[in-house]
Structure 1
Amino acid sequence: MDRLRSETRSRVAIGVVGPPDLVEQIMMIGADLPAAADWRLVGAPLAGEHETYEKFSKIAESIDVALFTGPLQYDLARQGGEFPMPATFVPMSGASLYAALLRGVLADGIDPARVSIDSLPAADVDEAYGEIGVGTAGVHLSEYDQPESARGFIGFHEQLYRQGATTAALTTIRSVAKALTSAGVPVLRMLPTSHTLRLALNTAALLGTGSRLEEGQIAIAVVELAASARPSYSGPGNYWQQELKLSLHQSLLADARVMGATVVARDENSYVVTATVGALAQATDGFRVAPFMDRVRSEAGVPVEVGIGLGTTARDADANALVAVEKARNAGAAAAYMVSGDGTVLSLPLRQRRRAESEPVTATKGAKLLERLVAGLGDGPEALVVDAEIVADVLAVAPRSARRVLQSLAEEGLAWPMPPVKGSQAGRPRQPYRLVRP
């Protein structure tokens, strides 16, 4: 039994979210592929698009990656909040159009030159019709662009058919096909090919494997006072040194807390911070800026040298961290250094400070929102960690609007998403963000 549990945990769990027929097809294809031993498929069939986020949330804690059966399902789930794991979807392309047209011509006698098509990009439709040698003058297209566009697909197809402009409708969406059938409109559902589904499964497996490797890998950071900031002597009577050590510890805890990291004193002048690579990556904007250094300088008023080591074991990560901090020491605390498991060395610069007064810049909409948030949150470092509920309260907006505000701030580099926090009750994990003052 223990061996079985170990094997189950080692397999990448892929959540498949979408209409029942496609979920079943993907799970059947996935079970027959050579790589089936490396993954575990978790199905979340939908009775209707309205329950996409609900069904996704129910399996979110048990999967490593989400595979949605199409862009509509992906976008509907995305509207509910940040994904707590990597996610992808099965793309729709001209390949699904060929099969649908062939079925329509052979079984229903439709005229492929007089049809209405939804979801597919115009370029894919033009290419497909060009290859079969049929003109598109009588072909009507409504492309997919976010879930709002899909709400008009039923009326789009039905109106054209009632006007006699088309002989059939081609749709990628199961609910649209059911509604058109009930209305007496001939309809063909475009389904992804088996080849497309196999590629999507392999893509999802790669994303899930990469995420697990990243999240599970250990990151150890050694943070030590620069030589210029150290006291000339140490001992129990040096109260300034004790206050400085306490201030440094508090500054590190503020960042470590939101990463789920631990902070332990290494000696009188340094600390060791232990986290996962995934958590550290989010806190450093994808390893583009140095962690800890900016906060310690602004709060404790001293420069620090930061060395980060990555490794699959604590011993490897610690050894790499010592190599990295030596490089930071030689650089004069001007940047943090990171040494990965394969020995690659990366320099992480300090976060860019606010531009000088002599270089005026026009505040963006995101910057103005950030100013409003900071003004309503207070000055403490913990106050800069927010979620949709807090933002909704400060800005007096709906939670969905608050989530869009946070997403737009993240896109402008004014906030970065941190690891989701799982609540005690079932449902969507809370997605915290750290606000970034420019």
Structure 2
Amino acid sequence: MERLRSETRSRVTIGVVGPHDLVEQIMSIGADLPAAADWRLVGAPHAEERETYEKFCKIADSIDVVLFTGPLQHDLARQSGELPVPATFVPVNGSGLYSSLLRGVLSHGIDPARVSIDSISAADVREAYGEIGVSTDQVHLSEYDQPESARGFIGFHEKLYRQGTTTAALTTIRTVAKKLVAAQVPVLRMLPTPHTLRLALNTAALLGTGSRLEESQIAIVLVELAASARPSYSGPGNYWQQELKLSLQQALLADARLMGATVVPRDENSYVVTATVGSLSQATDGFRVAPFIDRIRTDVGVAVEVGIGLGNTARDADSNAMLAVEKARGADAAAAFLVGLDGTVLSLPLRQRRRVEAASEPAVTSKAAKVLERLVEGLGDGPEARVVDAEIVADILSIAPRSARRVLQGLVEEGLAWPMPTVRAAQAGRPRQPYRLVMERSLR
């Protein structure tokens, strides 16, 4: 019994707060994941969004981190009072739009070209409709921007339907869907995909682990658009802003994947990157150069301000990151700043790229790309085929496992693969190190 208590205490406790159906789905998915032994889930479902903070407070003392089922619940809780534990939320994106549209066409006979959609960004809607080859000319959108915007969703959908402009409403919010049904407006509720929920659980587990560590192992990086790079106005009609946000997130993910970090939006102009101190140290040459700034300038063409915070808990790291980004604002995006455990401030200059290297890079990149092509030819078509290890590479390339490991490391250095968590072997021996091949990079 004492051993069981010890194991329970060693696991990260994740509170899940949101509507009943989503909380139940997350609890079910979380119980089936391989990492389920490393966490304990505590559900706090609500019937109405206004109950979010109350439900959270009832479990706050017994959890290490809270996962809200969407940005609305997260923002409502933050507006209502202090969150004494690290918090994250399930992102709202276009992944659930495909299944909702298909369900609407097959079961309800709606016209997908004449619908109203809330919460999702214009960029995600355009991407989803582009994939299915349907025009968005008669698709009406009301994006989420803080809880105040959600209060207008019901009127937005109902007015368009009454006017005969739309055939149905698509919403991510349960209470909005219920009230539209009561008003006899055809409505489809968009739910996050299981993949999105799994990623959100993993992010929550990472934050929760950081909050429990007595020694600093979590680093929080805040990346903000510099004032000069921000659009003069924001809103659903500013498509340039949406494209900028998408490009910025993609550039962050390109580096974050290599260090096993997570990237989530903080607000309209900033992102939070959560990583281990060790992986971030490697990415910054031992905290000697700034992360992310150089890639974003190259890939996106905008200036960003970067602040890094370290702390005994994720909460302390987040506070230090906010102090660090304040200092970065005064440096004209010429350096990142780090605030350490004891309040020490470090300035991390930009990585100085030697332009002469550009002439020698194509041959190396071309060789790595050719290796990647050979691997792709020897693999299947499914997404699981993108995950390889030294044994698989050795078999396809007809080389020794030691050489295969060097090949994989070369692909990582060229950005054509990124390492995944190691898999413990069933028997004694070297743990299996899987890598995911980055096909998108090779097609550029």
In the TM superposition, residue 283 of structure 1 has moved relative to its aligned partner by: 12
Q: Aligned pair in 2 of structure 1 residues 199, 338: CA closer, same or farther (>3 Å)?
A: closer
Q: Distance in 1 between matches of 2:79 and 2:19?
A: 18
**Contact 1:74/1:88 (<8 A) preserved:** yes
> Counterpart in 2 of 1:385?
none
Q: Distance in 1 between matches of 2:6 and 2:113?
A: 56
Alpha-carbon separation, structure 2, partners of 1:162 and 1:17: 34
Query: What letter is aligned with 1:140?
Result: H
SS of match in other structure, 2:170? strand
Q: Which amino acid aligns with 2:40?
A: R
SS in 1 for 2:169: strand
Partner of 1:225: none
**Residue 277, structure 1, aligned to residue 312, structure 2:** yes
Question: In 2, distance between residues paired with 1:183 and 1:99?
Answer: 24
* SS in structure 1 at match of 2:82: coil
Q: 1:339 to 1:160 in 2, by over 3 A?
A: closer
Cα separation, 2, equivalents of 1:283 and 1:187? 39
Once the two structures are TM-superposed, the CA of residue 131 in structure 1 deviates from its matched residue by 1.1
The 1:211/1:187 distance shift into structure 2, 3 A limit, reads same
Contact 1:288 1:348 in 2 (8 A): no
SS at match of 1:45: strand
Structure 1 position 83, deviation (Å): 1.6
Is 1:179 aligned with 2:207? no
Per-residue deviation at 1:185? Answer: 0.4
1:47 to 2:54 alignment:
no
Deviation of 1:217 (Å): 2.8
Q: Which residue of 2 aligns with 1:57?
A: 57
Counterpart in 1 of 2:17?
A: 17
Q: In structure 2, do the counterparts of structure 1 residues 209 and 138 end up closer, same or farther at CA, with 3 Å as the change threshold?
A: same
In structure 2, distance between residues paired with 1:135 and 1:280: 44
When the two chains are superposed, the root-mean-square deviation of aligned CA atoms in Å is 2.8
Preserved contact between residue 287 and residue 348 of structure 1 (Cα < 8 Å) = no
Q: What is residue 164 of structure 1 aligned with on the other side?
A: 164
Counterpart of 1:118 in 2: which secondary structure? strand
Amino acid at match of 2:75: D
CA distance in structure 2 between the partners assigned to 1:283 and 1:202 by the alignment? 18
Aligned residue number for residue 217 of structure 1 = 215
| 8 Å CA contact retained: 1:14, 1:65 | yes
C-alpha spacing 1:134/1:278, structure 2 compared with 1 (3 Å): closer
- Per-residue deviation at 1:123? 0.7
Q: TM-score, normalised by structure 2?
A: 0.51
Letter in 1 for 2:197: L
Paired residues for 1:232-381 under 5 Å: 277-278=312-313, 281=316, 285=320, 348=345
SS in 1 for 2:62: coil
Equivalents in 1 of 2:312, 2:321: separation in Å? 10
186 and 217 in structure 1: CA distance in 2 versus 1, 3 angstrom threshold? same
Q: CA deviation at 1:4?
A: 1.4
The equivalent of 2:149 in structure 1 is: 149
- Distance in 2 (CA, whole Å) between partners of 1:283 and 1:127 is 33
Q: 1:112 to 1:282 in 2, by over 3 A?
A: closer
**Could you report, residue by residue, the CA deviation over 1:52-101 in whole angstroms, capped at 9, with x for unpaired residues?**
00000111111011100000000000102232111110011111111100
| Aligned residue number for residue 369 of structure 1 | none
CA distance in 1, matches of 2:74, 2:315: 27
Residue type at the aligned position of 2:187:
V
- Counterpart of 1:411 in structure 2 is none
**Structure 1 position 212, deviation (Å):** 1.1
- For residues 72 and 17 of structure 2, the distance between their equivalents in structure 1, rounded to whole angstroms, comes to 11
Distance 1:201 1:280, change over 3 A: closer
State the distance in 1 between where 2:52 and 2:341 align. Answer: 41
Q: How many residues align?
A: 240
What amino acid sits opposite 1:108 in the alignment?
H
Aligned to 2:75: 75
User: Aligned residue for 1:122?
Assistant: 122
Give the letter for the 2:105 counterpart: V
Q: Which runs of 5+ in 2 are unaligned?
A: 218-310, 325-338, 347-444
Distance 2:158 2:322 in 1: 51
The offset of 1:278, in angstroms, is: 3.9
Say whether the 8 Å CA contact 1:66–1:88 is kept in structure 2. yes
Q: Give the letter for the 1:23 counterpart.
A: V
What is the match of residue 2 of structure 2?
A: 2
Cα separation, 2, equivalents of 1:338 and 1:191: 39
Kindly indicate whether the alpha-carbon contact (under 8 Å) linking 1:104 and 1:110 is maintained by their aligned counterparts in 2: yes
Contact kept in structure 1, 2:320 and 2:340, CA below 8 Å: no
User: Mind listing any 5+ residue stretches in structure 1 that lack a counterpart?
Assistant: 220-275, 290-336, 341-345, 350-438
2:16 & 2:166 partners in 1: Cα distance? 34
1:38 corresponds in structure 2 to: 38
- How many angstroms apart in 2 are the aligned matches of 1:182 and 1:54? 26
Alpha carbons 1:281, 1:287 under 8 Å: kept = no
CA distance in 2, matches of 1:39, 1:109: 42
Per the alignment, do residues 104 and 41 of structure 1 end up closer, same or farther by CA in structure 2, a change over 3 Å counting? Answer: same
